[in-house]
C-alpha cells in the first residue's frame, strides 16, 4: 500500500507527515556530508602528522650541521612551516566544533521529526518541553544555551545571534570548552 504524499494526496494526506519527511531528509543530508568529510579530514590529519614528524627530523638534522647562512635560513623555514602546521591544527579544532554542532542539529531534526510524526505527542506540551530540555542539555557551550533560550523566549534569529555574540564578547577572557 502506498503512502499518501504531496504528489499524490488522498484523504490520508498530512502536512505534518510532509514536514516530518523533510526534517528527516535535512538530517540525513547533513549526516551524509559529515560522514563523507570524515574521510578527507582523516587524510589531512595523517598528512599533518607526517609533516610534523618530517619537520622535527629536518630540524634535528639542520641543528647537527655546522653553522652557516644556508643552515640558518633552512632552520627559519622549518620554524615558519611549523607555525603554519600549528595554524592548520587550530583550523581542525574549528572543524571538530562544527562537526559536533552539526551532529547535534541532525539529532535534533530527527527527534523533532519523530515528535511531529507522532499524533500522541504532537499536541502534547509536555512532549515539546521534554524535547526542548533534551536539546538544551546536549549543548556544551554556554553561548549555545544563550541563543537557544533567546529563541524559546520568542526572540528573532537576529536578536538571538546578537545575544550570543554579546555573551561571547563578555566571556572573551574565558576559554569555552566543547
Q: For residue 177, what pLDDT is reported?
A: 46
The closest alpha carbon to 150, from 132, 164, 136, belongs to 164
Between 169 and 2, the more confident residue is 169
pLDDT confidence band for 178 (50 / 70 / 90):
very low
List Cβ neighbours of 43 (8 Å cut-off, separation of 6 or more): none
Residue 157 has pLDDT above 50, yes or no: yes
Q: CA-to-CA distance for 104 and 138, rounded, in angstroms? A: 7
List Cβ neighbours of 134 (8 Å cut-off, separation of 6 or more): 111
Q: For a pLDDT cut of 90, what percent of the chain falls above it?
A: 43
Helix (H) or strand (E) holding 65: none
Q: For residue 175, what pLDDT is reported?
A: 47
DSSP-assigned beta bridge partners for residue 5:
8
Q: For residue 142, what pLDDT is reported?
A: 92
Q: CA-to-CA distance for 11 and 165, rounded, in angstroms? A: 47
Weakest mean pLDDT among 22-36, 114-128, 164-178: 164-178
Q: CA-to-CA distance for 156 and 162, rounded, in angstroms? A: 10
Q: For residue 71, what pLDDT is reported?
A: 92
Whether the CB-CB separation of 24 and 113 falls below 8 Å is answered with: yes
Q: For residue 72, what pLDDT is reported?
A: 93
Which pLDDT tens digit goes with each residue over 67-126? 999 999 999 999 899 889 888 888 888 888 888 888 889 999 999 999 998 989 999 999
Across residues 3-32, what is the average pLDDT? 79
What is residue 92's three-state secondary structure? helix
pLDDT confidence band for 52 (50 / 70 / 90):
confident
The closest alpha carbon to 167, from 145, 134, 140, belongs to 145
Amino acid at each position: 500500500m502506498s503512502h499518501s504524499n504531496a504528489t499524490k494526496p488522498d484523504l490520508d494526506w498530512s502536512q505534518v507527515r510532509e514536514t516530518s519527511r523533510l526534517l528527516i531528509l535535512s538530517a540525513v543530508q547533513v549526516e551524509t556530508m559529515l560522514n563523507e568529510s570524515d574521510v578527507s579530514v582523516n587524510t589531512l590529519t595523517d598528512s599533518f602528522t607526517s609533516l610534523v614528524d618530517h619537520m622535527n627530523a629536518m630540524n634535528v638534522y639542520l641543528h647537527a650541521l655546522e653553522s652557516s647562512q644556508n643552515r640558518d635560513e633552512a632552520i627559519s623555514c622549518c620554524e615558519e612551516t611549523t607555525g603554519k602546521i600549528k595554524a592548520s591544527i587550530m583550523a581542525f579544532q574549528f572543524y571538530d566544533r562544527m562537526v559536533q554542532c552539526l551532529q547535534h542539529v541532525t539529532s535534533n531534526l530527527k527527534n523533532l521529526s519523530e515528535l511531529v510524526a507522532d499524533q500522541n505527542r504532537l499536541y502534547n506540551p509536555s512532549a515539546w518541553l521534554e524535547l526542548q530540555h533534551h536539546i538544551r542539555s546536549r549543548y556544551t557551550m554556554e553561548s549555545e544555551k544563550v541563543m537557544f533560550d533567546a529563541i524559546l523566549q520568542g526572540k528573532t534569529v537576529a536578536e538571538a545571534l546578537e545575544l550570543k555574540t554579546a555573551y561571547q564578547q563578555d566571556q572573551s577572557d574565558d576559554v569555552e570548552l566543547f
